[in-house]
Chains A and B, each alone.
Chain A
Amino acid sequence: MPRVPSASIMRPMDTLARIKALASQEFTLDAQALDPAAPLDKLGIDSLSFIEFMFKVEEEFGVSVSDEDLKGIKTLSDLERHVAAALAACGRA
């Protein structure tokens, strides 16, 4: 079945805010207090949890982040840049 972006991505919303909201839900963290520049492990997000989180981020935005790019993601800001680039590449930025 083709992967279809959820309806929410069709609205102009702040990508980082949506990532923070997802992270907040996934890891029971306070979205307002989330520091996007903080290393993921400092947020209590370990490597396995992050892989699972990425799965949900990809579903939410309808994009795919390569394994190679994944290795470079150390913060939520890094993640936001990759998602934004992926959205731009398919003309949905």
Chain B
Amino acid sequence: MADRRVAVTGAGIVSPIGNTLEDFQRSLCDARPGIRRLPGEIAQRTGVQVAATVEWNPMSVLKENEAAGVDRATQFALGAASQALAASGLDTGASPERIGVYWGTGLGGANTQEAAYRQVYGADEWRLRPLTVVMAMSNAAGSNVAVRHKLRGPFANFATACSSSAMALGEAMRTIQAGRADAMVAGGSEALLTPVMLLAWQALRTLAPADATDPAASCKPFDKRRGGLVLGEGAAAFVLEDESRARARRAPILALLSGYGNSCDALHMSRPDRDGQVRAMREALAESSVSPGDIGYINAHGTATTVGDLVEAEAINAVFGELAAHIPASSTKSLHGHLLGGAGALEFAAALLPILRGWLPPTAWLEEPDPACMLRHVPRRAERVNPPRAVMSNSFAFGGSNVVLVAERA
């Protein structure tokens, strides 16, 4: 356990089920879904029928001329980071060199890239706007957060697919623990619901078809009827601080981020590996000050793919043994879809719900649990619970990257 503990003092959310932490958590409690049918032509031509989209007004954080100069993924990032900093009450101007930004994204400015390709190859207009590079680059979102708030400390951008933003949080924790920063803004964003990316994901044959009776119920993690993941978009940001400094300034402390596991399967680009996931969970537990029995909720990666859910359930059972039958675990992707590079950060916010509000977020639509996925599920509806001492959040990515976070009650 590190000498320097890390407090979570602010959170901001832009998601398919709410654009503040409060709205997001309320939607989880009410099992209010953000998965919707895609417009007819896009659905027809890509074959992708549903996605979890954000209802977003960029002018909530940007002037009109500014919004046109940043990608949608950056707009989400600015929205989430501004909320997190405002909630934390952190004085960013006091020592900006001691506050950094670590951000995670899978593809960066996907909408900008696609617009550029469409213009050149589709419209045969071989002239691109000058901001194309700085809008599309993968570090654009994090860099814009740093510029907006004048945060001059350590900066990094993580692009490890679905573990990107969880890695940003874990590495930010270690940066504070190492004394290299007093506070960090960490999180991630993704906005890639573009025709080409929808087609690319469809080609992988991992996307769920629309539920025949309720499109919102198309993502069914751990259910026998599960048919794959549903793509989402959005962002989540957190302010992490040296706990002693946070307490000295009487900051609101949502939780302590105390464990971070990071492993690579080094086996396959897309097939998950139980042992890699086990190592990440064990590392996160070992780094935190909690024992496996203190974990009172696991936010599973739970993408609703046949193999992914099965392997994760096996990994959880391998780590927790007999305790696994008693530790509530759920996949909130059933409601907000898969935010890819933004997933780890958003689901960390979901994982804090039991600590902050005493509610276990559900795996919505879980009516026929797959007996091969032996877990203590939270089916369909949120459950009331005494706030547990600690929670865990799993993020397992294509490329074999596994990241696990452990948070403790403050």
- The yes or no answer to B59 lying at the interface (CB within 8 A) is no
How many B residues face the partner with a CB closer than 8 A? 12
Partner of A52, one of B125, B127, B130: B130
Partner of B131, one of A1, A25, A28, A48: A48
Whether B123 and A55, one on each chain, are in contact in the complex, defined by CB atoms closer than 8 angstroms, is no
> Which 3 A-B pairs rank lowest in CB-CB distance, beginning with the nearest?
A51-B130, A52-B130, A52-B131
Closest to A58 in B: B127
Closest to A49 in B: B69
Closest to B129 in A: A55
Within 8 A of A (CB), among B121-140: 123-125, 127, 129-131, 134
> Given A1-B123, A1-B124: A27 and B130 within 8 A (CB)?
no
- The yes or no answer to A26 lying at the interface (CB within 8 A) is yes
- The yes or no answer to A3 lying at the interface (CB within 8 A) is yes
A residues with CB within 8 A of B: 1, 3, 25-28, 48, 51-52, 54-55
> Given A1-B123, A1-B124, A48-B134: A27 and B65 within 8 A (CB)?
yes
Identify 4 new A-B residue pairs, CB closer than 8 A, beyond the known A48-B130, A52-B131: A25-B65, A28-B63, A52-B69, A52-B130
A28 to B64, CA, bound (A): 9
Whether A1 and B130, one on each chain, are in contact in the complex, defined by CB atoms closer than 8 angstroms, is no
Instruction: List, in ascending order, chain B residues with CB within 8 A of A48's CB.
Output: 130-131, 134
Whether A28 and B123, one on each chain, are in contact in the complex, defined by CB atoms closer than 8 angstroms, is no
Q: Interface digits, B59-91 against A, CB 8 Å rule (1 contact, 0 not)?
A: 000011100010000000000000000000000
A27 to B125, CA, bound (A): 26
Closest to A50 in B: B130
B64 CB, min distance to chain A CBs, angstroms: 8
Number of A-B contacts (CB under 8 A): 21
Whether B63 and A1, one on each chain, are in contact in the complex, defined by CB atoms closer than 8 angstroms, is no
A28 to B123, CA, bound (A): 30
A27 to B131, CA, bound (A): 15
A14 to B351, CA, bound (A): 61
> Given A26-B65, A28-B65, A48-B134: A1 and B129 within 8 A (CB)?
no
Instruction: List, in ascending order, chain B residues with CB within 8 A of A25's CB.
Output: 65
Instruction: List, in ascending order, chain B residues with CB within 8 A of A54's CB.
Output: 130
Instruction: List, in ascending order, chain B residues with CB within 8 A of A52's CB.
Output: 69, 129-131
B112 CB, min distance to chain A CBs, angstroms: 13
Instruction: List, in ascending order, chain B residues with CB within 8 A of A28's CB.
Output: 63-65
Question: Can you list 21 contacts pairing A with B, beta carbon distance less than 8 Å?
Answer: A1-B123, A1-B124, A1-B125, A3-B127, A25-B65, A26-B65, A27-B65, A28-B63, A28-B64, A28-B65, A48-B130, A48-B131, A48-B134, A51-B130, A52-B69, A52-B129, A52-B130, A52-B131, A54-B130, A55-B129, A55-B130
A89 to B70, CA, bound (A): 35
A34 CB, min distance to chain B CBs, angstroms: 15
A55 CB, min distance to chain B CBs, angstroms: 5
A40 to B66, CA, bound (A): 18
A48 to B123, CA, bound (A): 26
Closest to B125 in A: A1
B68 CB, min distance to chain A CBs, angstroms: 9
A16 CB, min distance to chain B CBs, angstroms: 21
A31 CB, min distance to chain B CBs, angstroms: 14
Instruction: List, in ascending order, chain A residues with CB within 8 A of B129's CB.
Output: 52, 55
B163 CB, min distance to chain A CBs, angstroms: 32
A36 CB, min distance to chain B CBs, angstroms: 20
Closest to A53 in B: B130
A85 CB, min distance to chain B CBs, angstroms: 21
Residue from B125, B130, B134 having most chain A Cβ neighbours under 10 A: B130
Q: Interface digits, B27-69 against A, CB 8 Å rule (1 contact, 0 not)?
A: 0000000000000000000000000000000000001110001
A40 CB, min distance to chain B CBs, angstroms: 15
A52 to B129, CA, bound (A): 7
B66 CB, min distance to chain A CBs, angstroms: 9
A27 to B124, CA, bound (A): 29
A52 to B125, CA, bound (A): 17
Closest to B126 in A: A1
A22 CB, min distance to chain B CBs, angstroms: 11
A6 to B63, CA, bound (A): 26
Instruction: List, in ascending order, chain B residues with CB within 8 A of A1's CB.
Output: 123-125
Within 8 A of A (CB), among B118-175: 123-125, 127, 129-131, 134
Closest to B69 in A: A52
A92 to B124, CA, bound (A): 26
B226 CB, min distance to chain A CBs, angstroms: 46
Closest to A59 in B: B127
B8 CB, min distance to chain A CBs, angstroms: 34
Instruction: List, in ascending order, chain B residues with CB within 8 A of A55's CB.
Output: 129-130
